[in-house]
Amino acid sequence: MASTGEPPIPRLRITPAAAAQVGRQVWLNESGGRPEGVTAWNDAEDFPSLGIGHFIWFKAGGNPQFEESFPKVVEYLRAKGTKVPAWLDKRPVPPCPWRDKAEFYREFNSPRMVELRRFLLDTVPLQTQYLLERTEAAIPKMLAALPQRADRVHLVTQLDRVVRSSPDLYPLIDYVNFKGEGISAKETAWDAERKRHEGWGMRWLLIEMRGTDTGPAALAEFSRAAKAVLDRRIKNHPTSARWRLGWHKRCDTYRRPLA
């Protein structure tokens, strides 16, 4: 981007110790850090959520509303040399074999489920690395989704504020995992007041940010902007209101480094 007169994209790098802290916090956010929480099926959802990041896995036929993530994680782990359970070790990764939440929990202690849980628990560090690489890969995608140069400059400026203020990059890593890159048209809702579709992923959060300070002020602004875009989602999609308290609590964890 620098050759076009736009600010350079910051690189995302953290130490192994920081990565371990990030992975633990993401796991806490998604399932309280419980070993059994790496295989879960949430109420009112049509798919299971797996791993420390609660990566979603669709049944045959897919899901028109969300972006599937678990098969990408399996492919990543396989590429890193991880032994994948034989029933899962196929290309492409097969669809979720459980028809619904009830069947999923009936088989919660079946040999296949126990093997899946062990696979996920044994690969926590690599799952964290996947989350970091996904976050870095999201940056050019977010910029490509912004046709206006001023918006691209603003996004990189705000991103750089967070990178320079967060030694563990936890706010960025967790939010991309939590609410996505913000580039999918499927992950937006019509805003009658603004008369356009509004999203809630990272792109929308960074555009929402203001200011120039680094340090605690930048992290506080990231937290505020996260709450703002999520509150806008609730306004535009009122059935999401039940998640507001938990979402805000999670956003509060972005206000300070993990260590």
Give pLDDT tens digits for 113-163. 999 999 999 999 999 999 999 999 999 999 999 999 999 999 999 999 999
Q: How many CB atoms lie within 10 A of CB 17?
A: 10
1 pLDDT band, cuts 50/70/90, is: very low
The percentage of residues in the chain with a pLDDT greater than 70, rounded to a whole number, is: 98
Q: Give yes or no for residue 92 having a pLDDT over 80.
A: yes
Say if residue 110's pLDDT is above 70: yes
Two structure tokens written together for 188: 């937006």
Predicted confidence at residue 207, as pLDDT, reads 97
Q: What is the pLDDT of residue 4?
A: 61
Per-chain mean pLDDT for the chain: 94
Percent over 90 (pLDDT), the chain: 90
Q: Taking 90 as the threshold, does the pLDDT of residue 83 lie above it?
A: yes
